[in-house]
Amino acid sequence: MIEIKDIEIFYGDRKVLESICLSAENGFTGIIGPNGSGKTTLLKSISRVLKPTRGIILLDGKDVYELKARDVAKNMAVVSQDTYLKFDFTAMDVVLMGRNPHLGRFEIEDADDMEIVEKAMRLTNTWHLADRSITEISGGERQRVIIARALTQEPGILLLDEPTTHLDINHQIEILDLIKELSKRLVVIAVFHDLNLAARYCDELIMLSNGKIFASGKPEDVITPENMESVYGIEVIVKQDSGRLIVFPQRKPVKSGRGRIHVVCGAGTATFLMNSLVNHGYKVTAGVLNEKDTDWDTAKTLGIEVVDENPFFYITEKKYQQNLEFIKQADFVVLTDIPFGEGNLYNLKAVIEAMKHGIQVIMIGGNEIDKKDFTGGKAIQLYNMLKTGGSIVVKNYQEVINVMEKKCG
């Protein structure tokens, strides 16, 4: 059991968490909130990375910051956003590291340890990667290896910071199904960017806003139109579909046409952006998006024309060409901050073509592309071409709107 009692955390003079109180036992608890609301900071505090200035965090009734690191590691495992490993270990070597807290100073792994490792790798569908170098596998495969390492610790508590960030949609569902099953006997606390995934899998949600808990409880009690407007600044429709909660942006009456915008996105990174662009009167198109992707759902709800691909499929040459036709008709192309693998690299190539045709490109984020490139450096090269080729780089979707308003009046 984890108990958090009235903690505060500062970065220098800036307070980033204030008066946080919560407890979690067996089950799946999700942490949601806008960028900068304190989600990752809260997870770092629980995992002993960032000690609170005030308050206390209890692990089974004991102050987590007074326990030995080995004792904490026997009970708590962490999967962070950054899963990059620069050393040339095999996948099995990495997973074996999860057994370290259970071994004596000069003790080596025995048959029981190897059995635990194999079980964890089979659960995460990584056993076939056992002899592969961790530096040579894809980002999604590496993410699953890191989760396998966490499971070999045999923890009672599993902390995950956006566990599906680098996974394609089929592996997202596969991993979250596994974590959901584990939550029947573990305390699972995970940070989510995608609200629909959080609503689908979590038993309880904690919504943060400006470093404070704005709402907590069952997903249907936390993800409400009122809370979404207050915290995210967006009007949404929340409905039940086949027993699960789904969040859609609320479409407003469109103003007069003010330009055509093509959005290259995926995995929920453009949900609020597309809604805001439509409501500001822009003609919006999007692509290429896999069917049933969160951004695909949003685009369909908003009546946005989409170049779409079959679920789980790589982008084909045909869809790439269709995407280029949409782009050539656009006044601006917006690229959201998404990871790139071989499956969606065509989208990044399409943005390069937009730049070559003299179409203004706006990039959201664009930092740490080396951690989001799962193409062996191809995406990094294209990203750098965009950055040095006159693209406008902004931090978030609100800044995209500010740029558009200045350009279009």
3-state secondary structure 124-148: CCCHHHCCCECCCCCHHHHHHHHHH
Q: Are residues 280 and 192 in the same domain?
A: no
User: What is the C-alpha separation between 92 and 152, in angstroms, rounded?
Assistant: 11
Do 222 and 175 lie in a common domain? yes
Q: Is residue 164 located within the same domain as residue 304?
A: no
Together in a domain, 228 and 276 = no
Q: Assess contact for 401 and 275: CB atoms under 8 A.
A: no
Residue 245 lies in a domain: no
Query: Are 42 and 118 in a shared domain?
Result: yes
Specify if 246 maps to a domain. no
Check residue 150 and give its pLDDT.
92
> Which 3 state secondary structure label does DSSP give 201?
helix
Radius of gyration of the chain (CA): 22
Q: Is 284 left (phi over 0), alpha (psi -120 to 50) or beta?
A: beta
In the predicted model, residues of the chain with pLDDT beneath 50 are 254
- What was the pLDDT predicted at 368? 65
Residue 313 contacts residue 296 (beta carbons within 8 Å): no
189 within domain boundaries: yes
Domain that residue 119 falls in: 2-233
210 in a structural domain: yes
- Judge if 284 and 220 occupy the same domain: no
* Same-domain pairing of 174 and 88: yes
Closest alpha carbon to 68 in 48, 44, 45: 48
Residue 241 falls within a domain, yes or no?
Answer: no
For the chain, the 3-state helix, strand and coil shares in percent, each to the nearest 5, are: 40, 25, 35
pLDDT digit string, tens, across residues 61-94: 899 999 888 888 888 999 887 666 667 789 999 9
Q: Do 77 and 203 have their domain in common?
A: yes
| CATH at residue 386 | 3.40.50.720
Residue 236's pLDDT is what?
82
Residue 328 gets the label, from left (phi > 0), alpha (psi -120 to 50) or beta, of: alpha
Instruction: Tell me what pLDDT residue 26 has.
Output: 81
Residue 328 inside a domain? The answer is yes
Q: Are residues 192 and 295 in the same domain?
A: no
Q: Which pLDDT value is given to residue 306?
A: 94
Query: For the segment 325-364, what is each residue's pLDDT rounded down to a tens digit?
Result: 999 989 899 998 888 878 888 988 999 988 888 888 998 8
In this structure, the answer to whether residues 211 and 265 fall within a common structural domain is no
Within a domain: 239:
no
What is the number of domains present in the chain?
2
Identify whether residues 33 and 115 lie together within a single domain. yes
Looking at the fold, whether 203 and 340 belong to one and the same domain comes out as no
Alpha helix ranges (H) inside 206-269: 219-222, 225-232
Residue 238 lies in a domain: no
Residue 242 to residue 158: CA distance in whole angstroms? 29
- Give the model's pLDDT for residue 83: 60
Question: What burial class does residue 89 get, using C-beta atoms within 10 Å of its C-beta: 0-12 exposed, 13-18 middle, 19+ buried?
Answer: middle
CATH number at residue 205: 3.40.50.300
8, two tokens: 């505060």
